[in-house]
Chain A
Amino acid sequence: MTDTIGLVMIVAGLVFDVLGCLGLIRLPDVYNRLQASTKCVTLGTCSILIGTFFITGFTSTGFKALLAVFFLVLTSPVSAHAISRGAHKAGIKLWKGSTCDALEERNKEAQQ
């Protein structure tokens, strides 16, 4: 039973991985690519690791998988935020279809 749950979670993780990498190719802009790929691939990899824990149970492999999930959830949003902030400060333009740029407006307000 736990074997089946683990295999289903690994399949879901693979689907999320492929869709996240497809978004990295398909979308038009740095910020859109970051939005699609970072969230999708993090969720997919966490799902694969939790599936590993379900298959192996309370062994050393399972506990290492849970530790990897903890570190991944802790570090992945921080790196995504750092990349997007650095890209915005380096002056990379938004896509022409984007409607609002809140950080730019806030910088203008702070200058006045």
Chain B
Amino acid sequence: MKTVRWILGALVLLGILLVVILYATDVVFLPSGREHSGFFARALYIVILSALMVFFRILKGPTPADRIVGVDILGILVVGLCAILALATDRSWYLDIGIAWGLQSFIGTLALAKFMEGRTFDD
């Protein structure tokens, strides 16, 4: 039963990846005439697919530590998303958002981890 579930999940993931790579060549808000624009649209869709997998773990996770790991990983994924957006639209301020988001996510993760540990912020 476990093997059947594993094979089914792998087939679904590979199918979604294949559909994204073959057909998802356009995002509405990106300028379409630029060089490599189809590649950047596919990359955006793949990062969004990874973020959906992380959302599954955040919603389901049995312990609080699982959810905190998910939030941390989501913050790192957003930095990559900002880099691809900056390449696709040729505007450098997307990476400013990325740097700020990464540092804020780091501080938030430290605060959540310390809160889970059961101590106050004083000691």
Name the B residues within 8 Å of A7 (CB-CB): 36, 39
Establish whether residues A79 and B86, one from each chain, have CB atoms under 8 Å apart when the complex forms: no
How many residue pairs link A and B with beta carbons under 8 A? The number is 145
Q: Which of B36, B63, B95, B103 contacts A30 (CB 8 A)?
A: B63
Establish whether residues A60 and B76, one from each chain, have CB atoms under 8 Å apart when the complex forms: no
Separation in Å of the B80 CB from the closest CB of chain A?
4
Q: Is the interface of A mostly helix, strand, loop or mixed?
A: helix
Provide the B30-54 mask, 1 if CB < 8 A to any CB of A, else 0.
0000001001000100110111011
Provide the A10-36 mask, 1 if CB < 8 A to any CB of B, else 0.
100110011011101100001001100
Is B24 part of the contact surface with A, judged by Cβ < 8 Å?
A: no
Q: Which of B36, B99, B110, B114 contacts A64 (CB 8 A)?
A: B99
Establish whether residues B79 and A72, one from each chain, have CB atoms under 8 Å apart when the complex forms: yes
Interface size on A, residues (CB 8 A): 47
Among B95-123, those with CB < 8 Å from A are 95-96, 98-99, 102-103, 106, 109-110, 113-114, 116-118
Separation in Å of the B114 CB from the closest CB of chain A?
7
Name the A residues within 8 Å of B51 (CB-CB): 21
Knowing A25-B53, A33-B66, A85-B113, the reply to whether A41 touches B103 (Cβ < 8 A) is: no
Inter-chain CA distance A59–B65, complex, in Å, is: 40
Q: Which of A34, A37, A52, A75 contacts B83 (CB 8 A)?
A: A52
Name the B residues within 8 Å of A13 (CB-CB): 80
Inter-chain CA distance A42–B86, complex, in Å, is: 19
Separation in Å of the A18 CB from the closest CB of chain B?
6
Establish whether residues A90 and B39, one from each chain, have CB atoms under 8 Å apart when the complex forms: no
- Chain A residues within 8 Å of B, Cβ to Cβ: 7, 10, 13-14, 17-18, 20-22, 24-25, 30, 33-34, 37-38, 41-42, 44-45, 48-49, 52, 55-56, 59-61, 64-65, 67-68, 71-72, 75-76, 78-80, 82-83, 85-87, 89-90, 92
What would 9 A/B residue contacts be, using CB atoms closer than 8 Å? A14-B47, A24-B53, A25-B57, A41-B77, A49-B83, A64-B86, A72-B79, A76-B76, A92-B63
Of all A-B residue pairs in the complex, the 4 with the closest CB atoms, nearest first, are A64-B95, A87-B65, A86-B117, A86-B113
